[in-house]
Amino acid sequence: MARGEVEHIQLVFPSKVNEEYRFTFDRYLKGIQISARELKKMNGYYDALVPFKNQLKCTDTLTAVWITVQCPSRVPVGKYHQTIKIEGSKHFTIQLDYNVHHTTIPLKSSIPITVGVENRCMTEGLNDKEADKERQRWVDFVLSYRMTPVFGTQITPERWQYEHSFSPWAWNDKRSIRLLNDRRYSCYMLPFFTLSENELASLLCNIQKKGKLKESLFYIWDEPAYIGMCNYFRRNFL
């Protein structure tokens, strides 16, 4: 593995509904991070990876587990060994051998890759403190895969129009300002529709002061509904 690399292993084994298995990782490895997620159905399709810590309750006759190994950029070069024990009605032992090379993958991809996150789905049902924690978790989660998060809020449902931003907080929130200094971002999607002209000018001024203007983008619209809106974009942005 290179430092900064993420590897995945898919483990599939026959099971019975309601069978329980316990996963035990035998040692902590100097910063190498390992996690497990179960592949589960969503709307009838196996589309969701659901995290679990140690205990897994099977929901089908075939169980798929996604093992993720993350090698942070500061992990010492060398060889590492780790064993995963899986205990239940059946017993498995998996030996993992890591060879960390003296090569570090850049923090961000050379080609900007963005991932959209719906603000409402991320924080629905949470209080303010919980919501802020969840927002930060999503920022770090997407960036940890060398992709850039774009947070969206639907503002005109009848036309499927979204406001997008590089931050889940308001553009002038101190946490958003802090994200402008995060070197893991490959680009910055800037809000537009919900800002007044003065707010937009302040945002662009701040972006320019941070030296991020060339890395910034506006997501305007897939299909503007009015000729006037098209003309506005043409006058101001083209």
Where exactly are the structural domains of the chain? 6-100, 114-237
Q: Higher-confidence residue: 159 or 44?
A: 44
Q: Mind listing the pLDDT tens digit for each residue in 87-113? A: 999 899 999 999 999 999 998 888 889
Q: Tell if the pTM clears 0.85, that is, is over it.
A: no
Q: Mind listing the pLDDT tens digit for each residue in 213-223? A: 999 998 877 66
Q: What letter represents residue 106's amino acid? A: P
The CATH number that domain 6-100 falls under is 2.60.40.1510
CA nearest to 204, candidates 187, 218, 220: 218
